[in-house]
Structure formats: structure tokens, C-alpha cells
Structure 1
Amino acid sequence: MNFKEEIQKRILVGEGAMGTQLYSHGIDACYEELNILNPEQVERIHEAYVKAGADILQSNTYGANYFKLKRYGLEDEVSRINRKGIQITRKAAKENTFVFGTIGATRSFRKSDLSLDEIKRGFREQLYSLLMENPDGILLETYYDFEELHAVLTIAKRETALPIISNVSLHEIGYLQNGMHLGEALLRLQDAGADVVGVNCRLGPHHMLSSLEEVPIPDRSFLAVYPNASLPDFEDGKLVYQANPDYFGQKALELRLEGARIIGGCCGTTPLHIQSVKKAVEGLEPIVKKKVKYRKIEVNELQDRKPEQSLSKQALEKRTILVELDPPKKLGIAKFMEGAEALRKAGADSVTLADNSLATPRISNISLGSLLKEKSNINPMIHLTCRDRNLIGLQSHLMGLSTLGLNEVLVVTGDPSKIGDFPGATSVYDLSSFDLIALIKQFNEGLSYSGKPLGQKTNFNISAAFNPNVRYLHKAVERMEKKISFGAQSFLTQPIYSENQIDEVYEATKHLKTPIFLGIMPLTSSRNAEFIHHEVPGITLPDSVRKAMASAGGDPAQAAKEGIAIAKALTEKAMEKFNGIYLITPFLRFELTAEITKHVHKIDASRRVEVTVND
């Protein structure tokens, strides 16, 4: 049989979920490794789907790429596992059954983990391994990231003339996670050469039908649909899908009416589901024309909100001072509010609020930021870590910040939990700092992570962290450039204690147009100086600084005086190179950073007078 000829004439039935069947047998490890360890078990599952009526089998190779197999120490087995996968599938297939080599997506929602070049290299290795066993076609499935799918489809079309099925996956009805409409995505995949375009996973039949109602039948390719059995439930520590084969068959009839030419199953589907689909569609003519339902766009959808003046833009034009003031570790905010007011009066352009710094719980910075904005007319910058919230919590937090008008954010990775008060607490890190920056940028475009419209575009001004206290400064600058490409609009640095280092940072970053706020934190004692020098990774204090702090002995007042003097000198040096100054308040000693803030304004005023006189 010829696949391209058969799909022209009839509706083909795809296989169901291999993983669901293996999971139901108590296997919770690397499914693809079973191609080597227990090929008979994999073959029996394929045979069950053939018996149920599947016309297309897909090899047990979904995650058999270098990066996913590396998690299990199997990165050197890519070729063997993929080739064996096709051999097993071919052995289970009947004469009139097609065998497709399956390649799943590599990217997760941590898009920054792998570059597109790395993904392409891993894809080629897997593709070549599958092609060595002469499958009837290639199935690309469960791609949430359209950029990745388009890239690997382009490679596949260049390397083989075999039929290719290209399936995207949706978080939301009708839209990819980049906000692209499903209809546009399928059209672009068709234009890239896919023989079959479609959608699989995540959504059950009901929501896939809703998505396909808005999609025309492809005119130069065919449509594939592989729904999940249902939404999953979580029982006794296991994911469970409703056993609904009859319902699945009924929905297959509706999927046919939307133009589906291949109907299979994804997560939760069993041979009974596939049997029900086969019974429902067997002998029915494919649908070649349908009426497309177009969604009405609400007038207020994605409306813009009037932005406040951005601190990053302000720093391009004039001196801008940010002062960090840590939220208290205990209840009671009188001293904190007093400090914020003192900093405002001293001339700080913004007070920045850390997000549980050093992995120590503090009063929520969003609550304090809201109070500062409401009661003190301060536009705060809210730090946002990747550590404490999963993807759901981060999106909710961002929507809350936008609702409160807290639009200045600093994205940081966050210190690991093991260094804080609760070393056994979980550090989440669903997203890296790069990914969180990209997510906030997507919010500014009016889209959630899943691609669903937010109803409004947010107006976040995105700052990022830059650590110049590293052995290889050029590597840190490369990270800056990467963050800029993801959407960062300004940078705040870790504290610097050397005037020479300020020159080095300037020379390394002067090619960038993105504002940099140079970090300066006044020292409070010799003990504080020695701790930073010896125990804070990457920071080395000059001998002159350590000697100056040691000269104060045990006199707190004298130590503060020395610390301020050092910080003022560093600030004056920074002002020669940078418009942005980032003062870090130690131990809620706001009188120190308030004095330095006043000093910055005094120096600026004197320089303006000097320029005027010279003119």
C-alpha cells in the first residue's frame, strides 16, 4: 500500500498512547529504553492497537533523542533505540499497516535550556537513525513551540521524501503558546512541506473540536487529530484518564466533519478507544468542504494601557538612582516605611524591593510595593525570582503586579533554598531568568504563556541582573546580550568595590545601548567587609578598602563614616561612566544610602554649575 494514495481515498486511524499502556503496567522510567530491554512488551502493545483497527503505528521513540536519553545515561544509545523502535513496530504491523517513526519535541517551557542549533543537531541524529530502518513515514508530535517544529520539519523535508505528519500541541483552544492561531500554524506547516498537519495531546476531543471549528480544511495537505482521552485526574499519586471509548468514537464522527483525515489518540487512550474510532469512521467518505466558524474578537481585547515613564528610558536621558530596601523579616513595617520616605526625600527615583533575598522569608514585596505607591507616591521596582513560584504562580503574580500598577520589575534567578532559613524547602525554577524575561515580554504583547489573550497588554519595564564579579567578564556580558535578546530593557549589577573594576565594566559594556545601574553597597564594619571579601562568591575587596574599614576598629559610628566615604568615592567614579546608580541598603540602614543619594545629587548639581560657568 502507498500512504499518499490511501489517505486520498479514506480516513485512516492512528495508534493510541504507548506511554499510557506502559504506565498502566507500572513502568515509570525511560519508555524508549524498553525497545532494548523488553521489546516483546512494546510489540504486544503495538499488536493490541493493530487488532483494534489502527492503520498507522508510531514507533516507541518519542523521547529517543540525545537530550532526553541523557537524563537516563543513555545518550550513546540514540541510534540503537530508534532503530530497534522501528524494527519492533514493523514486526507488529500487518501488511496493510503503515509504520511511522516518531520524533517528539525537545523544548520544554524552559526555552532557554537548549538553543535551536542544539535541537537541530539532536534531531538529525534521531532522524537518520529512524531512516536507516526504512519507515513508511515520519511523525512529528507534541510540539508546543512552533519555532522548533518549523525548524525540524524543514530539516526532515530536506533529508527524506517520505510522508511527514507534523502535529502541534495547544495549551488553549485554538491558539499556540506564542499566540499564533491554529489555522495560521497549520497553513505555515503545509507551506513548509508537511504532507499531513494536525494537532495532538493536551486537549481532549471536545476542546480539539472547538479549535478545529475555526480552521479551514488544508488544501495541499491533510488534517490529523490525536486528542487525549480526557482531562487527567490525579488519584493515589497517579495520573488517571476517564475510560470513555464510546464517547471517543462519537467525537471521532464530529472530528471527521471538521475535515480530519487521520484520527488517533494521545494520552490516556487505549486499544478500546482506537477500536471505537475505527468502528465509527470505517467506510465513511472523507469531508473535503466545511463551513469555518470565525471567532468574534471583543472590542476591548488586547487594549493598550497608558504606560508610566520607564526608569530605563529615564536613565538614557539623565541621572537615575535606584535604592534597594529589603522588606522586613518580621511583621511590622514602621521602620521600613520610614526608610522609604527618607529615600524619597533624599531624591531616590525608585525604591527596589527584593523577593525573599538569601532565600529568607520576608513580607511580600508586592504588598509593600502597593503601599509605597499608594501612600508615599513612590514608583517601586519589584524583584521577581524564579525560585519560589511555578509557572502558574508566576503568571498569577505578574497579573497581580499589573493590576496594582507595579510595572517596574527586576528578574532574578533567586538564591537556592538550601542557603536560607529552610534548606529543605523546594526551589522551583520552572523558568530560568531568560525564560521569565521572555514571558514578561509576551505579557507586554497581551499574551499569557499558553498563548491565550490576557485581555490587555501589560506595561512592564523589564530589568535584569548583571554580575560583573566573575573571572571572565566577557562571559557575563554575553549573558547580558542574551537577556537583551529575550527582552531585558535595563540591568542592575551586583555591588562593586573597586574603581578599576568600574572602568573594566564600562569598557566591556559600552557597546550596549541598554542602561546599566551600577551597584554600590556601603560597608558597615570591618567584620562586614571581611565577610564579603572571604565568603561572598566572586567579590574581592581591594586591600585599601579592607584597611580603611579595619582602621575604624570597633567604633560603629567611625565604621559607618568609613563605609560611606568609600561608597561616595565609588559612586563618583560610577557617575563618570554611567547614568544609572543602584544603591543597596545594608541591614535596613537607610540613613547610609539616603546620604549617598543626596551626595549624588550634590555632585550632579556642582557639575551643572561648573558646565554653566565654563560656557
Structure 2
Amino acid sequence: MTLLETLKTQVLTGDGAIGTVLYSYGLEYCHEEMNIQRPELIEKIHQEYIAAGADVIQTNTYGANAIKLARYGLESRVKDFNAAAITIAKRAAADGGQFVLGTIGGIRGIRKSAATLEEILMAVDEQAGVLLAGNPDGLLLETYYDFEELTATLKMLRAKTDLPIITQVSMHEPGVLQNGMSLNQALHELEALGADIVGVNCRLGPHHTIQAFEGVELPEKAFLSAYPNASLLDLEDDRVVYESEADYFGRAAVALRDQGVRLIGGCCGTTPKHIAAVKAYLTGLAPVQEKQAKPEKVQIVREAEPAKYEPLHEKVKRERSVIVELDTPRHLEIDGFIEGAKQLYDAGADVVMMADNSLASPRISNIAMGALLKEAHGVRPLTHITCRDRNLIGLQSHLMGLNALGIHDILAVTGDPTKVGDFPGATSVYDVSSMELIQLIKQLNEGVSFSGKPLRKKANFSVAAAFNPNVRVLDRAVARLEKKIEHGADYFISQPVYTKEKIIEIYEATKHLEAPIYIGIMPVTSYKSAEFLHHEVPGIKLSEDALERMKACGDDKERATQEGIAIARELVEVAAQYFNGIYLITPFLRYDMTLELMKFIEQLDEQKEGVRVDG
């Protein structure tokens, strides 16, 4: 009988983790390479699972695609590793007649930028072609956190083969995918797309996996599968361990069967002992034909509280809007910063923007200073948030804190690498890219956690994205803006621009975009700073005229200040003709220079309004 015919009348036992067993042997490198280097070891692991009672085994090919193998420089070995794996598994199952599944693992986690969908499908197509040539009893698509990736992969493979396809999602939270979709809905959508067996694996232990299936209705045609982890993971002496007794895992298999699951195996942390317990407990139990799924809890998500201020991306579409940046101090003396922020805000800035440890050097927390400015001095803050300093846990916690403080204006940026800052040996996190961070922030605006869990209330963030126009090919930079808009960016804030021609070029290249742009202007304070910006800061070039004018100031600080302001005024005058949004960057806490520019912007607008009235 085929796998699907057998599942009509039986609950089958799957195998457990191959990687866990290899890890226990001290093999921590590319596990898929063992199909070539240590085929006898891989076959031994298959045989141990078969001896434990597995009815279904899977090939050692979870990461045997070009994208994952590229981490080890082995992307050219896809055919070798997959062909060897299917041969080894079928040889191990020959005597007992176990079903052999060709395993294909998910690639994306939270990070969609790990690979494009097109790249993923090309990699899967290559891997699946080799596995299918080995005549497996079916394909197993496992550990898919990204539902878009899984559905696209399923559609492609369903068009290529009539063999059974098993699709298994992975969840951060019981019963809900990271995009907020319920497990019940996801499994039924997979069934509708042609999956023969639908289920879950990895991340969650038995308890939470059972809990997740309580809300799953039995599919009409497909069967349910579950491959939970042995438990939640722990660390002992820097090694990953799973605390779970085999008997407990076996009893959990019965509970999964009671929820209608017909194919039950194990994922991370499971060993032949766990599978032997599953087999012992499932022996003699018939499949569940009917069940009453728990009704899905209706999570009431409150609307976000109305923001005190109009979002910048709405105001700037209609009229002049000015953002001023003032970096928080690198020391503990804050009086000068507070005074500067108050003066800039009182002079008409819409917000005072604070970077997030710019140039990878520690400064007073912008969330702390933002809260202080807002609560004690009535100043509207705009805070940067970088991908560099915080993992996903820290990012979500930071954003939830900002929302609780009523700080709704943020700029999502990648962040300068740590090697350019005060602590070059510090770790750069970069769990996500700036585009993915924007998308996750917008997910919070829907009241959904990064993990997919409801947050009971919607956030209310207006999200800016960075724009670097100082590149050789501006069209490529604009293409990035378009992608950021797709990810949810409301508006853009540019790096400083130092030529009038560049401002006009930016306008022509971006005038088709709906998301508005704030043009960055930063006055230079000396010839030395001008040379530094021109020669050492990537992408920034001053005009020859500006360099000569600053050079002519010599060591006269006051003259250099006035010349720097004069150059910036000329740039502002051009920028104001083409853009409503002006972004003034304060150099070295010299907010007196920024105040001069703000007065000039006000004069320009008054002149423009006067001309309009006279006309």
C-alpha cells in the first residue's frame, strides 16, 4: 500500500531528529555533507530509528539546497548530497518496507531578505529534482516559518509530481503563525493547494504542539502530522540540550493522536528512544475519525490611541515641514542637549530627531532622552531604531516601550557596523534588515507581535526610512526606496546633500513616488570637517566651490561658521523649491547654526506666501 492508503486506517510513527544524533557525536559542521563523508553513519541512524519502530523515515537533506550549502562553500554539491541521501535511506528501509520521504527544509525565518522567493524556488527545484529521481514515497516540506515561502514551494512541487507532499509549518506561539494566521486556517489553505498531509514541526515541544492542535479541525481530504521538539531547548556549557523523558514524549503522542494526528514523529532533541516510546504508546490505536475542535479565541485588539500630533508623512504632503537632528550626548551632562532641543523645537521644528548610537558609538539612550523631552519639556521626539544593537526580542521590547511612552515617530535604519565605532570588537546583531524591521513595525500597528501573537492593542507608529542619494547610480537607490515602500515605509529622510545639482537630480528621480522625502542639509563647521566628509564618509561629496570656500576661511572659526551656514542656506533655498520636507542635521551640538537655517526657511516661506498673495 502507498503512504496515503496506509494512513486511511493507521496512525504511523515517523522518525526523529538526525541532526540531534550527529550533534551528540560531536559533528557540528554541515550535516548534509555526512551523506558523502560518513554514509555508514547516516545509514546507522536510519536503522536505529527503524529498529525503534519508525514506519516513515526521512532523508538527511534538510539543508541540502544551494542557498544553505553556500554557508559552507558547498553549493555545487547539491546533486551529490541529495542523491546519496535518498540512496542511503532507501537502502536502510529496504528490508522493513518503511516509507521514505525526501526532506526539503524551509529557508526563511523572520528574515525575508535571507533569499528572494525566486532564488528559493530555484534552489528547491534543483534539490527536489534530485530527490524525485531517487523515487521516494513522498516529499516532506518541513520547518517553514514563512507561509508565503511554503505556499509558493508547494504550488511549484505540486505541478511537478503526483507523489504525496507533506507540508509542515513552524510556529513561535502555539496555534498561530508568525504572520498572525491561525494554524487551523494555514493547514486548510495548504490542503486546498494540494498538500496531502499537513502539520507542524520544530520550535515547540509536545505540550504546546498538542495545545496548537486543539484548535485544528480535521481536514476533508488531507491527513494531519506532527513532529514536535523533545522539549524547549536549554544550554549547558554552551551546548544545546533538550530535557524530555522518552516516556513523556510517548504519552504526548497519544494526545496528538486524540487530536486527529495520524503521522507522529520527532524533531530537535528527539532520539530513537523517543520514537520507541511513540511506537509503544500508539500500537493498537486506530485513527480518530471525528473531533470537536476548540473554537478559536476571538482576540479583541483595541484600536491605537489617537496620536497627539499629525503624522509627519501626512503634514509634509500638504505644507512645509522641518525635522531637526540633535545627537544625544556621549557623556552624562545633558543640560546643553536639553537646552538645544527646546530652542530648536520652540523655533518651529516639527520634531527633534535623535540617532540610535550613531557611528556605532554609545550615547545616552534616545528613548530615554525622547521621553524626557516629551514629558518634561513638551518637545516632540523622533527616534532612530537600528537593527545593529538589538536582537528580535530587544527590538520588539524597545518598540513596545516607545508606544507606551507615546513616542510614535521613528526612523528604522540598519545602523553603522560596530567596527567603525568605539568598540570595534562588539557584536553587530542584524537579526533583520531595515526593510524587514519596517515591515515588523507595521505588523505592530496591526496589533500583532513579531511572533504572530496578538498584542491586544494596535501600535501607532509613523515609520520613516533612510535614503542615501549620494551614490553613483541614483536609479538603484530609488529602486530601494520602492522596495521600502512595499515593506511599509511612510516617508523618507535623506542623508545630507551637498550640491544643488544633486537636489534637482533627486527630485527628478523620485517625483513619481507617493511617499514624501525630507532632504538632508548639514552645515560644515570647518575646512577639516568638510575634507573629512568629502574624502572619508562614503557617498558624500561636496562641490569644489564649497571646498574652496571653506578652505579660504583658514583657522578663523567664526568665518568658517558663517561660510558653512551660507553654503547650507544656498542648498536649503534649492531644496525648498522642490521639496516640502527639510531635514536639518546639527553638527557637534552647534544648534545655533541650525537655528539660523530655520530662520532662513521661515523667510523663504514668507516670501513665497507674499508672492502668492500679491499674485
Aligned match of 1:188: 189
AA aligned opposite 2:588: F
1:269-295 CA-to-partner distances (Å, cap 9, x unmatched) read 111111111111112110011111124
Aligned match of 2:62: 62
Is residue 2:533 matched to residue 1:525?
Answer: no
Aligned match of 1:129: 130
Q: CA deviation at 1:298?
A: 4.9
Aligned match of 1:242: 243
Aligned match of 2:414: 413
User: 2:364 and 2:278 mapped to 1: Cα distance?
Assistant: 55
User: 1:124 and 1:498 mapped to 2: Cα distance?
Assistant: 49
Q: CA deviation at 1:580?
A: 0.4
Aligned match of 1:39: 39
SS state of the match for residue 335, structure 1?
Answer: helix
Q: CA deviation at 1:425?
A: 0.7
1:288-307 → structure 2 map (5 Å cutoff): 288-299=289-300, 301-307=301-307
Farther-moved stretch of structure 1 (9-18 vs 109-118): 109-118
Aligned match of 2:443: 442
User: 1:418 and 1:197 mapped to 2: Cα distance?
Assistant: 46
SS state of the match for residue 384, structure 2?
Answer: strand
SS state of the match for residue 15, structure 2?
Answer: coil
Farther-moved stretch of structure 1 (370-379 vs 187-196): 370-379
Query: Are residues 613 and 303 of structure 1, via their aligned partners in 2, closer, same or farther at CA, if it must alter by over 3 Å?
Result: closer
User: 1:515 and 1:298 mapped to 2: Cα distance?
Assistant: 35
Q: CA deviation at 1:531?
A: 1.1
Contact 2:13 2:265 in 1 (8 A): yes
Aligned match of 1:584: 585
Aligned match of 2:89: 89
1:208-223 → structure 2 map (5 Å cutoff): 208-223=209-224
AA aligned opposite 1:19: G
Q: CA deviation at 1:538?
A: 1.4
Q: % of aligned pairs identical?
A: 54
Aligned match of 2:324: 323
User: 2:458 and 2:428 mapped to 1: Cα distance?
Assistant: 30
Contact 2:101 2:139 in 1 (8 A): yes
1:151-170 → structure 2 map (5 Å cutoff): 151-170=152-171
Q: CA deviation at 1:606?
A: 1.4
Cα RMSD after superposing both structures: 0.9
1:442-483 CA-to-partner distances (Å, cap 9, x unmatched) read 111111111001111101101000001111111111111111
1:531-584 CA-to-partner distances (Å, cap 9, x unmatched) read 111111111111110111112121111111000011111001001110100000
SS state of the match for residue 9, structure 1?
Answer: coil
Q: CA deviation at 1:375?
A: 2.1
TM-score normalised by the chain length of structure 1: 0.99
User: 2:219 and 2:534 mapped to 1: Cα distance?
Assistant: 65
Aligned match of 1:77: 77
User: 2:465 and 2:235 mapped to 1: Cα distance?
Assistant: 37
SS state of the match for residue 383, structure 2?
Answer: strand
Aligned match of 1:26: 26
SS state of the match for residue 498, structure 2?
Answer: coil
Contact 1:302 1:453 in 2 (8 A): no
SS state of the match for residue 554, structure 1?
Answer: coil
AA aligned opposite 1:226: Y
Farther-moved stretch of structure 1 (303-312 vs 48-57): 303-312
* Unaligned ranges ≥5, structure 2: none
Contact 1:549 1:559 in 2 (8 A): yes
SS state of the match for residue 540, structure 2?
Answer: coil
AA aligned opposite 1:73: G
Aligned match of 1:224: 225
Aligned match of 2:553: 552
Aligned match of 1:269: 270
Q: CA deviation at 1:162?
A: 0.4
1:158-212 CA-to-partner distances (Å, cap 9, x unmatched) read 0001001100001001100000000000000000000000011111111011111
1:313-392 → structure 2 map (5 Å cutoff): 313-392=314-393
Contact 1:302 1:454 in 2 (8 A): no
Aligned match of 2:179: 178
SS state of the match for residue 80, structure 1?
Answer: helix
Q: CA deviation at 1:586?
A: 0.2
Contact 1:54 1:97 in 2 (8 A): yes
Contact 1:517 1:578 in 2 (8 A): yes
Contact 2:170 2:200 in 1 (8 A): yes
Q: CA deviation at 1:233?
A: 1.1
User: 1:227 and 1:586 mapped to 2: Cα distance?
Assistant: 55
User: 2:215 and 2:428 mapped to 1: Cα distance?
Assistant: 41
Aligned match of 1:14: 14
User: 2:299 and 2:414 mapped to 1: Cα distance?
Assistant: 37
Aligned match of 2:463: 462
User: 2:528 and 2:120 mapped to 1: Cα distance?
Assistant: 49
User: 1:12 and 1:421 mapped to 2: Cα distance?
Assistant: 58
TM-score normalised by the chain length of structure 2: 0.99
1:37-67 CA-to-partner distances (Å, cap 9, x unmatched) read 0000000000000000000000000000001
User: 1:113 and 1:231 mapped to 2: Cα distance?
Assistant: 25
Contact 2:109 2:144 in 1 (8 A): no
Q: CA deviation at 1:113?
A: 2.7
AA aligned opposite 1:36: I
* Unaligned ranges ≥5, structure 1: none
Contact 2:107 2:114 in 1 (8 A): no
1:292-336 CA-to-partner distances (Å, cap 9, x unmatched) read 11243354x343322341011110010000000000000021000
User: 2:296 and 2:3 mapped to 1: Cα distance?
Assistant: 35
Contact 2:326 2:585 in 1 (8 A): yes
User: 2:302 and 2:184 mapped to 1: Cα distance?
Assistant: 20
